[in-house]
Amino acid sequence: MLMSLYWGLPCFLFLSGIIVFVSNRKHLLSMLLSLEYIVLNLFFLLFIFLNLMDYSSFFSMLFLTFSVCEGALGLSILVSMIRTHGNDYFQSFNILQC
């Protein structure tokens, strides 16, 4: 029972994050938030796996560091797009335009 809770809850949270990411395509900020939610769920899964297998948590700290860098990169792209286009709607700008 407890093992299914260890693996079932994070997998359900991960799948719900993917469903939100796929269904919400209007704003860039909401897509970035759902991606961060998915990354946090992956960190939760990795942390549970490493604790159950009695490995050190060095790799989980490395993963958390890379996810923070990915979040900062996404926010910087969002800020530059808002400065150039005025909002974060996907319909207001052309992706292929330089």
| Residue 51 near residue 20, CB atoms below 8 Å | no
* pLDDT given at position 96: 47
The per-residue pLDDT for range 41-98, each reduced to its tens digit, is: 988 888 888 888 888 778 888 888 888 898 888 888 888 877 877 776 666 655 545 4
Domain architecture of the chain: domains with CATH = 2-85 (1.10.287.3510)
24, pLDDT greater than 80: no
Q: What are the distances in angstroms from CA 69 to CA 11, 26, 47, 61?
A: 24, 24, 19, 12
